[in-house]
Amino acid sequence: MGFLLFISFTSFQPSWKLIAHIAMQAKAIQTDPMGNLYVISNTNQLYKYDLNGKLTGTLNYAYLGNINYVDAGNPMELYLFYKEMNALVFLDNNLAFRGKLNLSDIGIVQATALARSYSNGFWVFDLGDLQLKKYNKDGSLSTASGNILQFSKSENFTPNLIIDNGSRVFVNDSAEGVLVFDVFANYIKTIPIKGQSAVKFLGNEMYYAQKNTLLSYRLNTMEKDTMPLPVGDFKSFSIEKERLYLLNAEGINIYSYLGQ
């Protein structure tokens, strides 16, 4: 049933163990399926740590611009999204530069969110024509959703996050919720969970945080579970491999779960 099995979390107080603290002024974190942690510093340097907080790599590609998002769904190849530069950069698992694509070269004037596709291409939301699009890695268009206003109640739809889990594509907009598409960009439904800047999908569950609580939403039954977090003052979170990662003003804390 996903992270930590999420069994009746509302019935007990969990115990957490702080296993590492990374002192860094950072603006975003992400994790890969192996539990590796990627940290984007306030100065747009990218750092890689293992699941116990040991530094294993730093970005060795000098590129001026804000890193807005790192997609680590494939630990062997990372995708970096530079929103202001309208560019996608490819890195290997050692954070070495492996290529770059200027999105304007393929007709995308303004992308608001980008993510790796399970077919090793990428998804992008194009604000120019309000479409979710899937491209092959060479920049050729694979499929598109049509104008998103067919499915959205908001005329100001500006998603901040796209996630492809292999069978579904999730497009998060804090005002609208999470729009769900199939891998051919066909709209399925909207999950009415709003106000989220970070969500995580593991198996059949979506995870998000509110104050000092981690919530689990089961995609097939729409059931929810809750789990108290060790602290309530954090900017972002991730979960992976029985690890909890919390980003706050002082840095990143990595916790392991000890049960009741």
DSSP letter for each residue of 206-259 = EEEEETTEEEEEETTT--EEEEE-S-S--SEEEEETTEEEEEETTEEEEEEEEE
| Distance from C-alpha of 115 to C-alpha of 3, rounded to nearest angstrom | 22
Which residue is it, tokens 């190849």? 77
Q: pTM of the full predicted structure? A: 0.92
CATH topology of domain 3-259: Neuraminidase (2.120.10)
- Between the alpha carbon of residue 26 and those of residues 23, 52, 77, 216, the distances in Å are 9, 18, 22, 26
The ranges of the chain with pLDDT < 70 are 1-14, 62, 259-260
Is there a contact between 91 and 78 (Cβ–Cβ < 8 Å)? yes
Task: List phi, psi (to 5°) of 15.
Answer: -120, 135
Paired strand residues for 162: 171
- The one-character DSSP state at 121 is S
Report which secondary-structure segment, H or E, holds 116. Answer: strand 111-116
Residue 70 structure tokens: 């790192």
Report which secondary-structure segment, H or E, holds 97. Answer: strand 97-102
Is there a contact between 33 and 250 (Cβ–Cβ < 8 Å)? no
Q: What amino acid is encoded at 176 in this protein?
A: E
pLDDT at 77 (0 to 100): 96
| Distance from C-alpha of 43 to C-alpha of 198, rounded to nearest angstrom | 21
pLDDT at 257 (0 to 100): 83
| Distance from C-alpha of 130 to C-alpha of 176, rounded to nearest angstrom | 14
CA 18 to chain centre: 23
Q: Is 33 helix (H, G, I), strand (E, B) or coil?
A: coil
Domain residue spans of the chain? 3-259
Helices of type H across the chain: none
pLDDT at 3 (0 to 100): 55
pLDDT at 135 (0 to 100): 98
Task: List phi, psi (to 5°) of 106.
Answer: -110, 15
Residue 186 structure tokens: 């066909």
Which residue is it, tokens 């979960």? 239
